Structure 1
Amino acid sequence: MSLYIPSIARRQLLRGAASLAGLALAPAAIGGGMFASPSLADNPFSLGVASGEPEADGVVLWTRLAPKPFEPDGGMPPEPVAVAWEVAEDQSMRKVVRSGKALARPNAGHSVHVEVGGLKPGREYWYRFTAVGAQSPVGRTRTAPARGAVVDRLRLCFASCQKYEAGFYSAYAHMVEEAPDLILFLGDYIYEGNPGSKGAVRLHANPEPKDVAGYRVRYATYKSDPLLQAAHAIAPWMVTWDDHEVANDYGADRDQDSFDPAGFLRRRAAAYQVYYEHMPLRRRAAPVGPDMLLYRALDWGSLAQIQMVDDRQYRDGKPCQPAGPPKRGKLIGDCEERRDPTRSILGKPQEAWLLDALASSKAQWNLLAQQTLMAELQLGDPAQQTTRFYSSDGWDGYPANRARIVERWREAKVSNPIALGGDIHAFAAANLTETLDGPPVAATFVGGSISSLGGESDVFAAKNPHIKQFDGKVRGYGRLDLTPKDSRMTFRTVENALVATSPIRDLASFALENGRPGVHRA
């Protein structure tokens, strides 16, 4: 079942959920109306600044006023507050080239999303905000190169899975030193569970969130971390979500425990609103009730195109499930339903968009940014070679959808396709093929996790010969350096995410060869 084209009853549910979530996120212009100018004793920029969604002529600038970030209203009055913004060509903010004012409104958590235009393509800028007599830190951002422009290089870092209680964010300190052009975050920005994870190094500030107030406090917990703030301030971000931004292992209108779609969609509406409030996203992504348009593409001159997708909101239900109430657990056998050719993890409209984007891309490198390991991963006892088990929560629950993408890469002769992912709390590198023993069509890489704990590294090589690297014992991120000639993927791992600061090392490096698909050790 797809949630993308609603029935009449579904439309009524959407309207009700939107009302309950209190959504009115479209920005308002500052005219002659009254707005508050409070005097605040605490720093209103406690959650930092961010930029994102770079285009050739501009970027999105973000902040949220929250002098008391662990209160649901952030310690702000129930009125709009004027926020001034500036963009400069220098870090000292002396050569200001764009400036203006925006309203931070209470029904958007006093967040601000400024879509700056009129900038030059392919260059660095710096920005800051001023509100209620206080000035924010200065952030660094950059615009994308002009469409079709010849580009010498792109350095991007990609990350996922930053459970606050599971570890510290020392990986971000090293990512800042990389000075990337772009950062991709591929899901699990927050975790939604109650405080008190086993072995927690620090605790969530509130119980499991299920409404706007609860999710605001949970995001404030994460965004108060200074190393995460520094990473947001060093480069523009492009983001997507996975499950924990709402609830563990949810898909479409069901969480892992519920047969109450209406109740879950109310929760999803609240979670989506607060996600938007805290991410540097454009207005076109603003949610309407429990629906939020998050798939899009970014061109980096002629060098690269990034296709960013959402594999949670529109997916068909989990296959091979027993009758009765939902049960926890993801492991399934190779049932007929799993191989149903009509099943999609992306939903039909999003999948059609992606296939069209792949066929029309003129970029030299094509990066599919999605949430998890895209390659098949057979699980179970390696001694039982005839028994196959899979996770129902990822692409192995939707192999026909994966096959259609791989087929499109091959048939459309898409240049240098690479899939980037997160979710599995492991570093992984694998070939994507049309058959398990076929030639590589693309490479796929998972860049570990920032802090979330993984597991054993044995993926039963006899069942998964296409997987060339798998390590779930270390934390970190991926760094991708693209050039027209020599490109490289590097897995960067901290020595110990359970301490506040940790050295970093290279775990593995892979050469990306123009015109030669697949995984190749550097």
Structure 2
Amino acid sequence: MMTDFTRRDLIAAPALLALATRSAAIGPRDPFTLGVASGDPWPDGMVLWTRLAPDPLTSDGGMPARPVPVRWELAADPQFRRLLRHGTAIAEPAWGHSVHVELTGLLPGRPYWYRFIAGGAVSPVGRTRTAPTPGAKVDRARFCYGSCQKWEVGYYSAYHHMVAEDPDMILFLGDYIYEGAPEKGQVRLHANPEPKDVPGYRVRYAQYKTDPLLQAAHAAAPWVTTWDDHEVANDYADDLDEKNSDPMAFLKRRAAAYHVYYEHLPLRAHARPAPDGLTTLYRTIDWGGLAQFQVVDDRQFRSHRACQPPELIAAHKQYQVYVPDCPEIHDPRRTMLGSAQEAWLNGKLGSSRARWNLLTQQTLMTTLKRVDPDHPKSPEPVYSGDTWSTYQPARDRILQRWADARTPNPIALGGDIHSFFAGDMRLSPDGPPIAAEFVGGSITSLFHDPYLKLEAARSGGTYSENEVRGYGRVDLTPEVAEITFRGVRDATKPMSDIFDVKRFTVEAGRPGIAETA
């Protein structure tokens, strides 16, 4: 849709005339090919996002190498008859001509609609909302969460159904993109080689964001996001990638990936990477008095992998994915979150008065006793070097904090492992449940492990499923949390049907899973 400013607008507002004149330099092509998004809702505002990219699969998006003004508008209705707020943001080439507008001063707990205007073009309309007033009584809320949306192995039909759920908020728990080189024979191919710098990551993100179903999900509700490994490189840990490359070279790549991650998602200014490449991604999102989401980053500050032969690191060789038990796994000095983030989380878990507290993180927290793929008949289990299974004291410190602080009704949400998983979390095998854990599957990514169900069962899991793609839905009331795993019939089809894979109930005041259906 195209629009022109009226003559009255241009006479009355010289700044608007300058905006129209300068924005026209973009050219006749639609600059809003990547859609719109909102995120991180708070009681009086949220972040509004877009990125100008008339030619999205080029490193500069087809934009001129100069700042471009973008008008934004917020309304009380989708037709924009009641325009409430408007302004101008500057899309800078250094940030891929992305726009992040942080709004404040709005009313709590209500929907809003927004759009952008640049170069005479009007963006799609997005719907967002503010969070309820802090501590307010909230009778019910619905949130959906997902992760792992590898472009090449499937379509995003899950998002079509997620939008139909009409969630108050969508949580994305990592692997927004996959960084690998194109693989022949896939459902659809990555458009560029494996990215390792800002131009490469821009093309990869832009390709993902051209998907109409992903755009529709972003336009339907505010998102809260964190990253996992594939936003940078597979299974990286702090300054080491999976091949133990030179840390200085890898940190340069990581800084580029973090930069482009911020460019493409509706994040607050505090998440904007610093000149040294470091980013503060962890934060809380409060939903009145009903829920608090503690959103963490378990990649940037984690200790190096446990039980690795020193010669692998010295020779820059592939790390050992599955490791036998070793002293490092139980070393309390090792961390998943880093000391500063861990201290922050301890404070939040001790101070939260929300009815439900949802640890919003990337991966499986339960220690999974894996079958050694090289010795499947061995009675001795092995452990994944990339999950909390090899950072057990760091995980147990969170469980202990939940118990000591009497954090109200803790629940852990996760992604990463391309599987659904549900179970109770305990400090010892015979101890009482402290929290329930729900890993929400994957949007498209695959994990055909013939041993997973066996491994999950012998590790204390209540349920596991690794052959179905989908997402999790969380329905909260003050009395009950209902978590439903939703699975698409066939992720290789653009518009697959969906079904309930499994449903779980957690009762307030009773840690752990109360019922399954």
Residues 1:487 and 2:481 aligned together: yes
Higher mean displacement: 114-123 or 511-520: 511-520
Distance 1:377 1:258 in 2: 24
Task: Give 2:186's match in structure 1, choosing from 200, 210, 224.
Answer: 200
Aligned to 1:332: 323
Task: Tell me what 2:360 maps to.
Answer: 369
CA RMSD of aligned residues (A): 1.9
1:335-391 alpha-carbon deviations (Å, 9 max, x no partner): 001110111111111111111110110001000000011111001169868512110
Q: How far apart, in 2, do the equivalents of 1:285 and 1:370 lie?
A: 16
Aligned residue identity for 1:436: P
1:38 match: secondary structure: helix
Please give the secondary structure, in 1, of the residue aligned with 2:348: helix
State the alpha-carbon separation in 2 of the partners of residues 487 and 408 from structure 1: 21
- Preserved CA contact (<8 Å) 2:49 2:266: yes
Mean Cα deviation higher: 319-328 or 164-173: 319-328
1:472 counterpart (466, 469, 489): 466
Flag structure 2 segments of 5+ consecutive residues without an equivalent: 1-14
Q: Distance in 1 between matches of 2:456 and 2:303?
A: 30
Give yes or no for the alignment of 1:430 onto 2:416.
no
1:404 maps to 397
In structure 1, which of residues 495, 516, 521 is the aligned counterpart of residue 516 of structure 2?
521
1:497 maps to which residue?
491
- Provide the secondary structure at the position in 2 that maps to 1:238: strand
Amino-acid identity (%): 57
**1:179 paired residue among 166, 181, 198:** 166
Partner of 2:348: 357
| 1:308-330, Cα deviation, whole Å (9 max, x unpaired) | 00000000000100121332441
Q: What is the CA–CA distance in structure 1 between the aligned matches of 2:60 and 2:456, rounded to whole Å?
A: 54
Instruction: Check the 8 A contact 2:100/2:266 in 1, yes or no.
Output: yes
CA distance in 2, matches of 1:383, 1:392: 18
Partner residue, 2:228: 242
Figure out how many residues of one structure are paired with residues of the other and give that number: 493
8 A Cα contact 1:419 1:443, kept in partner: yes
Choose 502-511 or 463-472, whichever is displaced more: 463-472
Q: What is residue 348 of structure 1 aligned with on the other side?
A: 339
Q: Per the alignment, do residues 462 and 317 of structure 1 end up closer, same or farther by CA in structure 2, a change over 3 Å counting?
A: closer
Q: Distance in 2 between matches of 1:311 and 1:73?
A: 30
Judge conservation of contact 2:67–2:91 (CA < 8 Å) in 1: yes
State how far apart, in whole Å, the 1-side matches of 2:240 and 2:357 are: 32
The Cα of 1:462 is off from its aligned counterpart by: 8.4
Contact 2:26 2:64 in 1 (8 A): no
Match of 1:10 in 2: none
Alignment match of 2:129 (pick from 142, 145, 153): 142
Secondary structure of the residue aligned to 2:310 is: coil
**Aligned 8 A contact 2:26 2:63 in 1:** no
| Preserved contact between residue 378 and residue 463 of structure 1 (Cα < 8 Å) | no
1:31 and 1:117 mapped to 2: Cα distance?
A: 27
CA contact (8 A) 1:492 1:504 kept: yes
Give 1:39 deviation, angstroms.
4.4
The structure in which a higher percent of residues are helix is 2
Residue 8 of structure 1 is matched in structure 2 by: none
Q: In the TM superposition, what is the alpha-carbon distance from 1:35 to its structure 2 partner?
A: 5.5
Q: 2:273 aligns to what?
A: 287
Shift of 1:287: 0.1
Aligned pairs for 1:46-445 (under 5 A) are: 46-196=33-183, 199-288=185-274, 289-324=276-311, 325=315, 326-380=317-371, 386-445=379-438
Question: What is the alpha-carbon distance in structure 1 between the residues aligned to residue 90 and residue 421 of structure 2?
Answer: 43
What secondary structure does 2:482 align onto? strand
Deviation per residue, 1:109-157 (Å, 9 max, x gap): 0000000111100001110000010000000000000111111111000
In structure 2, give the amino acid aligned to 1:254: L
CA contact (8 A) 2:370 2:455 kept: no
Aligned AA (2:487): T
Instruction: Look up the equivalent residue of 2:516 and give its one-letter code.
Output: R
Q: d(CA) in 2 for partners of 1:43 and 1:521?
A: 48
Deviations 1:280-334 (A, max 9, x none): 0011110013211000011111000000000000000001001213324410111
TM-score (norm 1): 0.92
TM-score, scaled relative to structure 2: 0.92
The whole-number CA distance in structure 2 between the counterparts of 1:32 and 1:358 is 49
Secondary structure at 2:345 match in 1 = helix
Structure-2 residue corresponding to 1:6 = none
Q: Any idea what SS the aligned residue of 1:518 has?
A: coil
Does the CA-based 8 Å contact 2:70-2:90 persist in structure 1? yes
Q: Which residue of 1 aligns with 2:3?
A: none
Contact 1:377 1:390 survives alignment (8 Å):
yes
Aligned to 1:13: none
Structure 1's unaligned 5+ residue stretches are 1-28
